[in-house]
Amino acid sequence: MSKAVAVIGAGTIGASWAAIFLAQGNDVRASDPSPQGEAFARRFIANAWPTLETLGWVVPGASQDRFSFHTSPTEACEGVSFVQESGPEREDIKIETFKEIDAATAPDVVIASSSSGLLISRVTVKCTHPERCVIGHPFNPPHLIPLVEVVAGEKTSQAAVDKAMEFYRSIGKHPIHIKKEVKGHVANRLQAALWREAVSLVADGVCSVADADAAIAYGPGLRWALMGPHLTFHLAGGEGGMTHFMNHLTPALQTWMDDMRNPRVLDYKQLIIDGVTEEAGNRSIADLQKWRDRKLIDILKVSSAP
């Protein structure tokens, strides 16, 4: 069943959200303060549309013509049944944006923030109805990556969480319910932990930036495209599964963990920048994005994605 969805903040993340919302047969009402906001969003959607068609994610009746752009969040939120906020990752800006959205929508309309690390309890301090507000954090690019992290705040109702989970499922996403507010939620904290160790290995001269990336992309990353670390290690335990893994393999793994240190990533800023520059070579950001998206499409075609 189609809905009218507001996208507040139509930059890279918001425009990507708009593309999948439209492809799944919804009307999208967007707003962004940038003078180039509308042109950027329409261009992004147009570029994403063939990919969504290739994946079979454009439902009958869906159309880019069901996108409209408005001068303010208040106008964009008129008559919508769901709001996806994707503004700058600054708490002060989001607090004011949520205050405006809260005043412009009916109390039963769920307001979700795409924030990658902020706490919804803080973002909603000026809202009259914080009980309908959640984090709805996607992974970039949202129109392709299925994961959405749904996080409740201190005052968020279970009904709002349920509605958000149901909505994201309805557009083919794979929402997960994060049961406790923590900075960075879950997926970004897992990413950060892995990157911290990668930086440590590069800083200690164990490997280059490119080889650290290759160690993931051509090794565990291939398995992680299908299952997470727990199920991966369950299989590593053979017929005995996780029980065998815990009893016989984890003691050695624990010694590796004990040997890891906790570097301050910014202390090695230039080392990492230089390493990534060398790894990227003459490939521009646009070149790398196009390559990534082509590979993502291949993976999604054979995975359990929507």
Three-state helix/strand/coil letters over 9-62: CCCHHHHHHHHHHHHCCCEEEEECCCCCHHHHHHHHHHHHHHHHHHCCCCCCCC
Give the DSSP H/E element, type plus range, for residue 250: helix 250-259
pLDDT of 133 above 90: yes
Secondary structure of residue 285 in the 3-state scheme: helix
What are 253-267's pLDDT values in tens digits? 999 999 999 999 999
Two tokens, residue 275: 């390493």
Domain 187-302 matching CATH 1.10.1040.10: the answer reads yes
Half-sphere exposure of 15 (CA within 13 A, CB side): 19
Q: What is the dihedral of CA 123, 128, 130, 133, to 10 degrees?
A: -80
Q: Give the phi and the psi of residue 263 in degrees, each rounded to 5.
A: -75, 155
Give the DSSP H/E element, type plus range, for residue 165: helix 158-170
What are 14-38's pLDDT values in tens digits? 999 999 999 999 999 999 999 999 9
C-alpha span between 195 and 211 (Å, rounded): 13
* Whether 26 contacts 5, CB under 8 Å: yes
End-to-end CA distance of the chain: 17
Two tokens, residue 185: 């939620």
**pLDDT band per the 50, 70, 90 thresholds, residue 1:** low
Two tokens, residue 15: 């425009």
* Whether 30 contacts 108, CB under 8 Å: no
Instruction: Name the fold adopted by 4-178.
Output: Rossmann fold (3.40.50)
Two tokens, residue 263: 């570097």
**pLDDT band per the 50, 70, 90 thresholds, residue 301:** confident
C-alpha span between 34 and 28 (Å, rounded): 18
C-alpha span between 16 and 143 (Å, rounded): 5
C-alpha span between 304 and 61 (Å, rounded): 24
Two tokens, residue 209: 């930036």
Q: What's the pLDDT score for residue 306?
A: 42
Sheet holding 82-85, edge to edge: 67-70, 27-31, 4-8, 82-85, 110-113, 133-138, 147-152, 174-178
pLDDT of 51 above 90: yes
> For the chain, where do the domains classified as CATH 1.10.1040.10 start and end?
187-302
Mean of pLDDT values over 196-214? 97
Q: What's the pLDDT score for residue 303?
A: 74
Does this model's pTM top 0.85? My answer is yes
> For the chain, where do the domains classified as CATH 3.40.50.720 start and end?
4-178
* Whether 13 contacts 84, CB under 8 Å: no
E strand segments, the chain = 4-8, 27-31, 67-70, 82-85, 110-113, 133-138, 147-152, 174-178
Two tokens, residue 113: 């923030």
* Whether 38 contacts 16, CB under 8 Å: no
Q: What's the pLDDT score for residue 98?
A: 98
pLDDT of 295 above 60: yes
Q: What's the pLDDT score for residue 305?
A: 43
